[in-house]
Amino acid sequence: MSERFFTPWVGSEYNKGICGKKVLVLGASFYCNKDGRQGREKCIYFDECTNPENKDSSKFNSNCPYYKNEVESTSLKDEPTNSIWSYIRAYKIFAKYMYQFFDDKDIIGKYDYDIVWYRLAFTNYVQFFLPTKDTYPCYLSKRDFDAFIRTLGDLKPDVIIAWGLPVTSEIRDNPEHKDYFTDLENLPQTEYYLCHMKVPGVDHEIAYVNCYHPSAPGYWGQNKEILAKYLRVAFNINS
């Protein structure tokens, strides 16, 4: 299997971005709920497709018996795009929040979910469907980081906004990844929200901004002003 299974969503106006910055939103993981629990029907492929040891859903990319009936695309690898256009609550919360940073006079005061996501790229870090909603450390592997670096090389974002702590703990705190970061020693000064990456094939530093997952309303709501503070730094917004 290749290092990257999921194909990132790249909006049609990704290069225009926000405040002239190309933005990659990095979620944690996708999961399958066809597990037979709580009265749900169980997919015949569930145990293999979501196996946390094999960590490979690619065998079922085109033949999932449920997926083709629930979304427009029949390919599991297109889940980043399908998640956005399923208008999931977390994605709506995030889009509305990000709208405050738009500086285009023609769309100020005209918030629209679609407009926001057309300006962004999105994927999740873990490269197979999980058997649980939560992202546990045992699900992560070197493959995920390699896929992440490949995506950075392909999309060359100026800003990464990473949702949740499990993924950032793996990306930022893993000693094997320290050479990809230029200023980890300054994290306490940014309240652990902002640092910078240097990636082969990308000729500029990438701002890495970590935040609570928008699906966790308590933590998200309590900390969104701190997040805005460091996003303004990443976007070079003077305020």
pLDDT at residue number 1? 61
Give the position of tokens 């490979």. 56
Nearest alpha-carbon partner for 14 in 104, 99, 121 = 121
Six-digit token string for 59: 């065998």
pLDDT, residue 73, reads: 63
Q: Give the predicted TM-score (pTM) of the model.
A: 0.94
157-191 pLDDT, tens per residue? 999 999 999 999 999 999 999 999 999 999 999 99
pLDDT in tens, 43-78: 999 999 999 999 999 999 998 988 766 666 669 999
Confidence of residue 213 (pLDDT cuts 50, 70, 90): very high
| CB-side neighbour CA atoms (13 Å) of 229 | 10
Least-confidence region, from 51-55, 64-68, 94-98, 135-139: 64-68
Q: What is the 3-state secondary structure (H, E, C) of 35-85?
A: ECHHHCCECCCHHHHCCCCCCCCHHHCCCCCCHHHHCCCCCHHHHHHHHHC
